[in-house]
Amino acid sequence: MPTFNPASPQAADIQSLFFVMLLVAAVIMAIVTGLVAYITVRFRARPGDGEPHQEFGRPRLEIAWTLASLAVVTGLFLLTIRTMRAADPPPGARSPDVVVIGHQWWWEVRYPASGAVTANEIHLPVGVRSLLRLQSADVIHDLWLPRLGRKMDMIPGHPNYVWLQPRAAGTYLGACSEYCGAQHAWMRLRVVAQPADEFDAWSRRQLAAPVAPAGGAAAAGARLFQNLTCPNCHAITGTGAAARIGPDLTHLAERETLGAGVLDNTRANLTAWLADPQRVKPGSYMPNLQLSDAQVAELVAYMETLR
Ligand code: CUA
C-alpha cells in the first residue's frame, strides 16, 4: 500500500502521525472492550441474586477519566499541529515553483520561473522541496499523490499550496480524488522525479520550440493542425497556436500518456484518440473532428515530431 511506503519526508511525517493515532486508538479500544468483557462475565446476574447495590456519582473517578481523555486528545492535537507544520509550512512570501491547474479532465502544469507549460506530468528535481500552487479552472478537483503523502483540494478562486519532495528518482502515480464529472476516473497524474541535471535539461527542452517538419506527412499534419480548429484550444510553441483551453502540445511526443492517463502515448493510441476522442474518453471536451483516415495519419505524423 502506498500509504505504508512513503517516498517523501512529508509522507513520512504523516505516516508517523498515523501510526501514533492507530496505536493510541488500539490501546483505548483494548481497554474498553476488555473491561466490558470482564465486567459482563464477572458481574453477571446469578440465580438468587437480588437487585445489586446502586451507586450514584463517583466524583474522583469521573474527574480522572475526563482528565485522561483530555490528555489523550490534547496530545494528539499537539502531534497533529507538529505534523502539519512539518509537512505543510505556510509558503509565506515564497513564489511557487510549480502551478498546477485542474481542468475537466486533465492537469495543466506551469513553471512560473521558466515559463514552461506542460500537462499531466509534473517533473521535479529529486530531494528538493518544491512548492506547488494548486488551482482550478472549473470545478473542485483534488490532487492526490499517495506515495508522496500529498492530497489537497483544488478549489476555484482559492489557491492551495503543497510541498513536494520526492526522495528518490522515479515516477509517482497520482489521480484526481474529488468527483469532478464524467471523466473524473480518467484524470490521472504522474510526478517524474529526476536528478538535478536531468531536471534542468528537461526544463530547458520544454522552452525550446519543436523543429518544424520539413516535408512529408508530418508537414502536411502541421498545416492541417493550423487550418483545423486545433489552435482554438491548444498551444504549440513556435507556431501561431497559443490557446490555453486544452493541454499544451509543444512536447506531446515526450509524454508517457494521452488524455490524462487514459491511453499510453503510442502511434496506435494517438490514432484512435484523434479518430474519435469521444469513443476513448466519453464526455471529454476534445471533439470528434470527423477527420478522414488520411488526415488522422498526417496529424499523428506531426504530433510525433513534437519533442
Ligand atoms: Cu478532477 Cu475528479
What residues does CATH 2.60.40.420 cover in the chain? 1-29+66-198, 216-303
Cα separation, 202 vs 255, in Å, equals: 12
pLDDT of residue 51: 85
Question: How many angstroms is it from 177 CA to the middle of ligand 1?
Answer: 6
- Give the side-chain half-sphere CA count within 13 A for 190: 17
Which residue has cell 493542425? Answer: 225
Encoded amino acid at 273, one letter: W
Tell me the pLDDT band of 3, cut-offs 50, 70 and 90: low
Average pLDDT over residues 240-260: 92
Distance 104 CA to ligand 1 centre (A): 7
pLDDT tens, residue by residue, 217-243 = 999 999 999 999 999 999 999 898 999
Residue 224, pLDDT score: 94
- Please report the sign of the dihedral spanned by the C-alpha atoms of residue 24, residue 27, residue 33, residue 36: negative
- The gap from C-alpha 44 to its chain's centroid, in whole angstroms, comes to 54
Q: Is the CB of 176 under 6 A from ligand 1?
A: yes
Neighbours of 302 (CB within 10 A): 26
pLDDT computed for residue 1 by the predictor: 56
How many Å apart are CA 282 and CA 277, to the nearest integer? 7
User: What per-residue confidence (pLDDT) applies to 17?
Assistant: 93
What pLDDT score was predicted for residue 49?
A: 84
In angstroms, how far is the first alpha carbon of the chain from the final one? 35
Listed range (11-15, 95-99, 274-278) with the worst mean pLDDT = 11-15
Residue 300, ligand 1, Cβ within 6 A: no
- Under a CB-based contact definition with an 8 Å cutoff, are residues 15 and 3 in contact? yes
Asked whether 261 lines ligand 1 (CB < 6 A), one says no
Helix, strand, or coil here: 273?
helix
Question: For 261-294, how does the pLDDT look when each residue is reduced to its tens digit (9 = 90+)?
Answer: 999 999 999 999 999 999 999 999 999 999 999 9
Chain segment 107-152, per-residue pLDDT in tens: 999 999 999 999 999 999 999 999 999 999 999 999 999 999 889 9
Residue with more model confidence, 258 or 55 = 258
Tell me what percent of the residues of the chain surpass a pLDDT of 70: 99
Q: Write down the architecture of domain 216-303 according to CATH.
A: Sandwich (2.60)
Q: Rounded mean pLDDT of the chain? A: 93
Cα–ligand 1 centroid distance for 150 (angstroms): 15
Nearest atom of ligand 1 to the alpha carbon of 141 = 1
Pick the CATH number of 1-29+66-198 from 2.30.31.70, 2.40.40.20, 2.60.40.420, 1.10.260.40: 2.60.40.420
Q: Phi then psi for 255, rounded to 5 degrees? A: -80, 155
The answer, yes or no, to whether any atom of ligand 1 lies below 6 A from the CB of 178, is yes
Residue 183: pLDDT band (50, 70, 90) is: very high
In degrees to the nearest 10, what's the CA dihedral of 95, 98, 101, 105?
-170
Q: How many residues are present in the chain?
A: 307
Q: Which amino acid is at 25?
A: A
Greatest extent of the chain over all pairs of C-alpha atoms, in Å: 103
pLDDT at 261: 92
pTM of the model: 0.86
Pairwise CA distance, residues 247 & 233, whole Å: 8
For residue 33, the model assigns a pLDDT of 98
Cα distances (angstroms) measured from residue 193 to each of 89, 144, 208: 22, 16, 21
Is 180 a pocket residue for ligand 1 (Cβ < 6 Å)?
yes
Closest-lying ligand 1 atom to the alpha carbon of residue 154: 1
DSSP states of 161-217: EEEE--SSSEEEEEEE-S--STTGGG-EEEEEEE-HHHHHHHHHHHHSPPPPP-SHH
The stretch 80-87 carries a mean pLDDT of: 91
